[in-house]
Amino acid sequence: MPRISLSCGASAALLCAVAALVPASAADQAAPNFAPDSSTAWITTGQEFQPPASGPGPIVGDPAHLPKPGQPAFRVADLSNPILQPWAREELRKANDRALSGKAAYTPKERCWPIGVPGFLLYPVFPVYFLQTPKEVVMIWAEDHQVRHIYMNQQHSANPAPSWFGESTGRYEGDTLVVDTTGLNGRTFIDNYRTPHTDKLHVVERFRMIDGGKTLEAKVHVEDTGAFTTPWDAVQHYRRIGAEGDAADPRVPKGPLEEMACAENNGDIFDEGLDPIPTAAKPDF
């Protein structure tokens, strides 16, 4: 939209006329409003990252072991992706072996552990809610109330203490929310294939609405010199839901956000060697 001056004196008429023809820059565009009301939320359209238009991309499924319709199966990663350093490829091979063994190969989220970044972008069934304020954007995943805090227009700490969701700083670039995350511990996974990473992980996400506001697009840039041979990119999409629920999947909870916690007593009933669930060794207070 052209930039229009509200007042122009006669001596500046020519300058005003020229300014009126100059398109607004990205900085002049209104910041996106991902949550115009308490019922608006976003749910992922898939459980794995999509590759970028060009260049190195994410881990995807092994073509020889893709799930068949109607048959439950755990994910098997394509180990030929050149982004993997040798040790990371070996860890994925171990995860593949378990997935092919017939034993349960759950992701840590199923065992009540925090998801981490960028894995936060991959979980379906329950939606993500946005809380946007001038100083902070909060992303709340409805299941387990896993929460990310994004501190707006700030610099990263010099030495952030490693944590499950790291330290995220954000800014708006026109219609896009840009989130820069460092300070992640090495205890989470990149994706549902259990792709590992180190505490050198650096993730940049760019969120913007497309399709007339019906879709939320997240473009992801990943760097980790401890786990990957090169930076790589990926894409994720969310569909919008509201008070009426999700037309594509009636099982998705309707807004607004409801209270939920990870299930208790989910022990290793069948002795499959599952990861332990979080346990408090001492009282919090």
The predicted-structure confidence for 12-61, as pLDDT tens digits, reads as follows 443 333 334 444 444 557 899 999 999 999 999 999 999 999 999 999 99
- Averaged confidence pLDDT in the chain: 85
Q: Around Cβ 188, how many Cβ atoms within 10 Å? A: 24
Which contiguous run of DSSP H or E holds residue 152? Answer: strand 146-152
> What is the tens place of the pLDDT at every residue in 229-266?
999 999 999 999 988 888 888 888 888 888 777 766 66
> What is the tens place of the pLDDT at every residue in 224-234?
999 999 999 99
Q: Report whether 75 contacts 193 (CB < 8 A).
A: yes
Cα distances from 162 to residues 24, 157, 182, in angstroms, run 40, 11, 8
Query: What's the rounded Cα separation, in Å, for the pair 183 and 203?
Result: 10
Nearest Cα neighbor of 92 from 83, 275, 162 is 83
Q: Around Cβ 87, how many Cβ atoms within 10 Å? A: 12
Return the pLDDT at 107: 82
What pTM value is reported for the model? 0.83
> What is the tens place of the pLDDT at every residue in 88-115?
999 999 999 999 988 877 788 887 889 9
pLDDT at 283 over 90: no
Helices (H), 36-135: 86-101
Q: What's the burial of 112, exposed, middle or buried (CB within 10 Å: 0-12/13-18/19+)? A: middle
Q: Report whether 84 contacts 93 (CB < 8 A).
A: no
